[in-house]
């Protein structure tokens, strides 16, 4: 059980680090910290969701569209 729990914590840290990194970039663009964190979470959701959907549909364009639109999407808050 410990090994599984350790893996869960590693995944949690990975997502927290990823979200924090995106939020830092958004705050550098003068976005308020609380908004930047929400937008960073949105970015991770969009990327992860598009990866799953792209794989499921065997269509890389789904992922490419999300990545292409992501900067604009995040800064429109």
What is the rounded distance in angstroms from the CA atom of residue 1 to the CA atom of residue 57? 34
Q: What is the structure's pLDDT at 9?
A: 86
Q: What is the structure's pLDDT at 76?
A: 84
- Whole-model pTM: value is 0.86
Q: Above 90 in pLDDT, residue 72?
A: yes
pLDDT per residue as tens digits for the range 13-47:
999 999 999 999 999 999 999 999 999 999 999 99
Q: Above 60 in pLDDT, residue 4?
A: no
- Domain assignment of residue 70, given as a range: 2-75
Number of domains in the chain: 1
What is the rounded distance in angstroms from the CA atom of residue 39 to the CA atom of residue 45? 10
Q: What is the structure's pLDDT at 77?
A: 64
DSSP code, position 32: -
């Amino acid at each position: 059980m410990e090994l599984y729990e350790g893996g869960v914590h590693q995944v949690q840290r990975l997502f927290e680090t990823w979200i924090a990194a995106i939020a830092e970039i958004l705050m550098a663009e003068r976005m308020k910290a609380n908004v930047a964190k929400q937008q960073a979470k949105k970015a991770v959701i969009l990327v992860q969701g598009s990866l799953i959907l792209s794989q499921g549909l065997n269509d890389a364009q789904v992922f490419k569209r999300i990545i292409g639109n992501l900067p604009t999407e995040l800064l429109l808050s």
